[in-house]
A and B are shown apart, each in its own frame.
Chain A
Amino acid sequence: MLHQPIKMKLKNQPKDLKSLNDAARYSSMAFQMVIIIGLGVFGGIKLDDWLHMNFPVFTVLLSVIAVVLAIYYFIKDFTFMNRK
């Protein structure tokens, strides 16, 4: 069993801790967007290289899909977090 007074001490500053949690959440969402779009573009470029395409069709397609996916996950996470 953990000691009670220390818990009380932490409980006295809920505002700071809440903002720390929020900062972690939202920064993670931004990071997620960057990585998904980055992965899409990188995958597209590699695929075009591999298939020796004259026009970088997969780079274009996968970038657009990655942006759409990133926005979709962002909205989904955002609604989930607001529910909590």
Chain B
Amino acid sequence: MMRFFLCCMTLLFMSVLFLKAEEKHTPSGEATHQIEKKKFEPGSFMFDHIGDAYEWHIMTVGHKHISIPLPVILYSKTKGLSIFMSGRFHHGHNSYKGYKLEMSGENKGKITDEEGNLPLDLSITKNVASLLFSIGLILWIFLAMAKPYKRNALKPPRGIQSFLEPIVVFIRDEVAIPSIGKKKYEVFMPYLLTVFFFILFNNVLGLIPVPPGGANLTGNISVTFVLALFTFIITTIRGNRNYWKHIFNTPGVPVWLKIPVPLMPLVETIGIFTKPFVLMVRLFANITAGHIIALGFLSLIYIFAEMSTGLAYGVSIVSIVFLIFMTFLELLVAFIQAFVFTFLSALYFGMATEEHH
């Protein structure tokens, strides 16, 4: 580790020397003007990559963007329904059917009509396409995996079964049963397994830089909101008498805290909402942070390239080594976050179905 660190530092030091040597030869005036013109903005670079988009960007060669166009579905009261491919916008340079892709201002990245109003947007954006792809992938893998069990459940696992069966058993034995209890866990298993594999697959897909990966789906707050909403709905519906009693008439609490001012019921009611809220924010923050770190390391190369090409070469080695290390760490985070979401959902179900003790 120490040797690796020393190597990195030497490279960085050498590139700094290279920069100094190069600076002497840089003619001022025209060259500086050119650099200013193409100034790299790491902020917008990162947020463009972690955000949603109407096209699936693959790469940019020179000034040419190579991307997969996706269907745009819009509805407005005056124009009715319009369906077309996002390629019609030519990356925001053209308008089509009176709609245009805003490149700046308040509605940046959104589609607006001539008056600047927002139509009802049901487009298959990058995140939606990634969502549909992952659902298809999960269905395909699990239906193929389930078939042999249907035929003969006692046969030893084969192929992908031997990889996924331990995970299914792990969720059952280490997540569902300890949190919910042996009597009631079965009802929640389909949801827990679905949510676990959905988050895991999408986290891993998000780490693959090229389509069909690369979308920051589980780092999108709308997606994590819906996942947390499901946990909230199931907890509320499955909540037994004991659960609601603890909220509205908490046992072991002095009466003056409940009547006339219902302080304890109020605190407990806020608690119902904070739990899924925390679930939502945790997944969103962890995955988005992972993507930002990866993009940050990449941005470093371009930031240093603005100072000197030699320095950028030096930094790029360090940057890419760290990027690879972080990507491996993100693989671990992908699993941990899927596990934590499932585990906490199971804990909340356990709280909701717990019998009187």
Contacts and interface: CB of A to CB of B under 8 A. Distances in A.
Interface in B114-166: 149, 153-154, 156-157, 165-166
B274 A10 contact: no
B91 interface: no
Contacts of B178: 21, 84
Given A10-B170, A10-B173, A84 B179 contact: yes
B320 interface: no
B153 A84 contact: no
B277 A35 contact: yes
Interface in B271-287: 271, 274-275, 277-278, 281-282
Interface string A1-44: 11101110111000001001100110110011001100100000
Contacts, number: 72
B278 to A, nearest CB: 5
A80 B166 CA distance: 28
Nearest to B342: A24
Interface string A49-78: 000000000000000000001001100100
Contact of B278 (A17, A31, A76, A84): A31
Contact of B270 (A27, A69, A76, A83): A69
A32 B173 contact: no
A24 B343 contact: yes
Contact of A28 (B166, B174, B270, B340): B340
A84 B278 CA distance: 22
B351 interface: yes
A79 to B, nearest CB: 11
A45 B282 CA distance: 22
A3 B145 CA distance: 14
A3 B156 contact: yes
Contacts of B68: none
A72 B344 contact: no
A38 B275 CA distance: 14
B357 interface: yes
A2 B278 contact: no
B213 interface: no
Contacts of B156: 3, 5
A2 B339 contact: no
Contacts of B293: none
Contacts of A5: 156
Given A3-B157, A10-B173, A32 B179 contact: no
A35 B173 contact: no
A5 to B, nearest CB: 8
Given A32-B278, A73-B271, A80 B351 contact: yes
Contacts of B168: 2
Contacts of B174: 10, 17, 20-21
B347 interface: yes
B350 A84 contact: yes
B289 interface: no
A64 B353 CA distance: 32
B201 to A, nearest CB: 20
B271 A6 contact: no
B166 A10 contact: yes
Interface in B253-312: 267, 270-271, 274-275, 277-278, 281-282
Interface of B: 149, 153-154, 156-157, 165-166, 168-170, 172-175, 178-179, 267, 270-271, 274-275, 277-278, 281-282, 336, 339-340, 343-344, 347, 350-351, 357
Interface of A: 1-3, 5-7, 9-11, 17, 20-21, 24-25, 27-28, 31-32, 35-36, 39, 69, 72-73, 76, 80-81, 83-84
Given A25-B347, A32-B278, A84-B178, 17 more contacts: A3-B157, A5-B156, A6-B157, A6-B165, A6-B166, A7-B173, A20-B174, A28-B282, A35-B274, A35-B278, A35-B281, A36-B274, A39-B277, A69-B267, A69-B270, A69-B274, A84-B350
9 interchain residue pairs of minimum CB distance: A1-B153, A32-B278, A24-B340, A17-B174, A24-B343, A35-B278, A6-B166, A7-B169, A31-B282
